[in-house]
């Protein structure tokens, strides 16, 4: 599963990507038309607290894949085919909106950029749906798909993203192969100026995102890149100086994680404290399979503690004593923050 940093050209996507991944891809000017791919560790203060309790040899965070998708190469409006194709491959989109004056002093217009970008996604889907429906009508085939697509068509014609269209699972399957852009989970990221890092997000943008049912996050990509380059101790000091607890990139990563529909569970011990991702709604054997395929195959049961309940007690034996170490079977649906010990036999 991949989260794309997407949006128009020169909005700071690559700068942000570098800050997030610690890579050093060239930014500015004639950006390459190639996507950049990076693995990002998901910051999670629960992992820090579990590490303090278990003092393991190593601590391993969950990871997600980010892709820096270059903005459209074409001047003016319209997203070119190469960019569209790159967007199609993403599982979730974080649209980066320019909140700083451009090099040629063009003012920031994040609200307009967001509206334009979403309109592009909708128009693109509309073209795909129209072509397909036309063909199905001509061929007099696949009535089921035609019905679902007609519903999509009405929705798109009303300028609404397909994200807002609720479909039963069997209808969803009919259209999943189209990879509709306006159906992908979307997050708005305002790339603001350094002077504005602690100022609230402008009201008009908050309102626009609220109307679109989008979460919006504010970061200053160039500042994030500076922070990322500092040693850990210096980072804390730097953030304290700014009056913030953690870099905005941490927020962004967690938002992207949720956007991809991941939740975290933990395995703990003297050797390793580790966060693992599973899709929301996954059952215990699936989660076991993340750790090792043998554990999924030989799954017997899961011993589960809720993170929130564990922290005040901080002792497994005591948790068992007070009945807060649950034994769960194959049908158990994993919850975010579960601390799990899998029992299995191979
Ligand atoms: N003032 C300011 N400038 C920034 C910030 N982020 C990026 N820039 C500048 O904006 C220009 C474009 O940044 P990039 O990160 O290359 O933008 P991009 O979105 O990757 O651009 P494309 O790859 O062409 O789509 C560069 O000159 C950056 O230095 C920021 O937070 N503040
Ligand atoms: Mg770039």
Q: For residue 84, is pLDDT > 60?
A: yes
Range of the domain at 290: 281-344
**Would you say residue 151 lies in a domain?**
no
**pLDDT tens across 49-66, in order?**
999 999 999 999 999 999
**What was the pLDDT predicted at 140?**
86
**What was the pLDDT predicted at 188?**
98
CATH at residue 324: 3.10.20.30
Q: What is the mean pLDDT of residues 120-147?
A: 93
Residue with tokens 């989008």: 214
Residues 188 and 326 in one domain: no
Residues lining ligand 2 (ion), CB within 5 A?
A: 13-14, 31, 70
Q: For residue 155, is pLDDT > 80?
A: yes
**What was the pLDDT predicted at 29?**
63
Q: What is the mean pLDDT of residues 330-336?
A: 98
**What was the pLDDT predicted at 82?**
87
90 lines ligand 1 (CB under 6 A): no
Q: For residue 163, is pLDDT > 70?
A: yes
**Would you say residue 274 lies in a domain?**
no
Residue 152: pLDDT band with limits 50, 70, 90: very high
Q: What does DSSP assign to residue 331?
A: T
**What was the pLDDT predicted at 161?**
97
Least confident of 2-6, 78-82, 88-92, 105-109: 78-82
**Would you say residue 166 lies in a domain?**
no
d(CA 112, CA 205): 9
**Would you say residue 193 lies in a domain?**
yes
CA of 68 to the centre of ligand 1 (A): 12
Q: For residue 31, is pLDDT > 70?
A: no
Domain boundary among 259, 289, 304: 259
**What was the pLDDT predicted at 53?**
97
**Would you say residue 222 lies in a domain?**
yes
Least confident of 158-172, 210-224, 240-254, 285-299: 240-254
The chain-wide mean pLDDT, for the chain, equals 93
Residues 77 and 189 in one domain: yes
Q: What is the mean pLDDT of residues 264-276?
A: 97
**pLDDT tens across 5-29, in order?**
999 999 999 999 999 998 989 887 6
Residues 333 and 203 in one domain: no
**What was the pLDDT predicted at 76?**
60
**What was the pLDDT predicted at 66?**
96
Residues 92 and 221 in one domain: yes
Residues 207 and 321 in one domain: no
4 lines ligand 1 (CB under 6 A): no
Residues 196 and 340 in one domain: no
Residues 193 and 332 in one domain: no
**Would you say residue 265 lies in a domain?**
no
CA of 7 to the centre of ligand 2 (A): 10
15 lines ligand 1 (CB under 6 A): yes
Residues 236 and 337 in one domain: no
12 lines ligand 1 (CB under 6 A): yes
**What separation, in Å, do the N-terminal and C-terminal C-alpha atoms of the chain show?**
29
Tokens matching residue 178: 């189209």
Q: For residue 77, is pLDDT > 70?
A: no
**Which atom of ligand 1 has the smallest separation from the CA of 27?**
16
Residues 189 and 89 in one domain: yes
Residue 30: pLDDT band with limits 50, 70, 90: low
Residues 195 and 297 in one domain: no
CA of 283 to the centre of ligand 1 (A): 42
**What was the pLDDT predicted at 74?**
64
232-242 helix and 221-229 helix, angle to the nearest 10 degrees? 140
**What was the pLDDT predicted at 75?**
59
**Would you say residue 255 lies in a domain?**
yes
Number of domains, the chain = 2
Q: What is the mean pLDDT of residues 190-213?
A: 94
CATH at residue 37: 3.40.50.300
Residue 143: pLDDT band with limits 50, 70, 90: confident
Strands (E), the chain: 2-6, 36-41, 58-60, 63-68, 92-99, 186-192, 215-219, 262-267, 272-279, 299-306, 326-328, 338-344
What strands lie across the sheet with 215-219, from one edge to the other? 36-41, 63-68, 2-6, 92-99, 186-192, 215-219
**pLDDT tens across 90-106, in order?**
999 999 999 999 888 88
Residues 191 and 311 in one domain: no
**Would you say residue 236 lies in a domain?**
yes
Q: For residue 48, is pLDDT > 70?
A: yes
């Amino acid at each position: 599963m991949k989260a794309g940093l997407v949006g128009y050209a020169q909005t700071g996507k690559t700068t942000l990507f570098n800050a997030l991944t610690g890579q050093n891809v060239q930014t500015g000017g004639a950006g390459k038309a190639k996507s950049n791919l990076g693995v990002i560790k998901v910051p999670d203060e629960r992992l820090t607290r579990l590490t303090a309790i278990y003092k393991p040899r190593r601590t391993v965070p969950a990871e997600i894949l980010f892709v820096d998708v270059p903005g459209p190469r074409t001047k003016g409006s319209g997203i070119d085919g190469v960019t569209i194709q790159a967007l199609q491959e993403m599982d979730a989109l974080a649209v980066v909106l320019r909140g700083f004056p451009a090099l040629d002093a063009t003012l920031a217009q994040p609200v307009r950029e967001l509206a334009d970008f979403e309109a592009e996604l909708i128009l693109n889907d509309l073209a795909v749906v129209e072509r397909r429906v036309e063909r199905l009508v001509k061929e007099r085939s696949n009535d089921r798909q035609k019905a679902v697509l007609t519903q999509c068509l009405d929705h798109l014609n009303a300028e609404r993203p397909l994200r807002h269209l609720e479909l039963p699972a069997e209808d969803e399957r009919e259209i999943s192969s189209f990879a509709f852009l306006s159906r992908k989970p979307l997050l708005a990221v305002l790339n603001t100026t350094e002077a504005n890092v602690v100022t609230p997000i402008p009201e008009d943008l908050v309102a626009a995102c609220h109307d679109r049912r989008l979460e919006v996050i504010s970061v200053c990509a160039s500042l994030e890149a500076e922070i990322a380059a500092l040693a850990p101790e210096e980072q804390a000091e730097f953030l304290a100086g700014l009056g913030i607890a953690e870099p905005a990139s941490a927020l962004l990563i967690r938002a992207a994680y949720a956007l991809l529909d991941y939740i975290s569970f933990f395995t703990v011990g003297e050797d390793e404290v580790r966060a693992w991702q599973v899709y929301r709604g996954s059952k215990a054997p699936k989660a076991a399979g993340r750790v090792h395929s043998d554990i999924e195959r030989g799954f017997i049961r899961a011993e589960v503690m809720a993170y929130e309940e564990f922290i005040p007690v901080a002792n497994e034996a005591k948790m068992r004593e007070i009945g807060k170490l649950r034994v769960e079977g194959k049908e158990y649906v994993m919850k975010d923050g579960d601390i799990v010990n899998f029992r299995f036999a191979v």
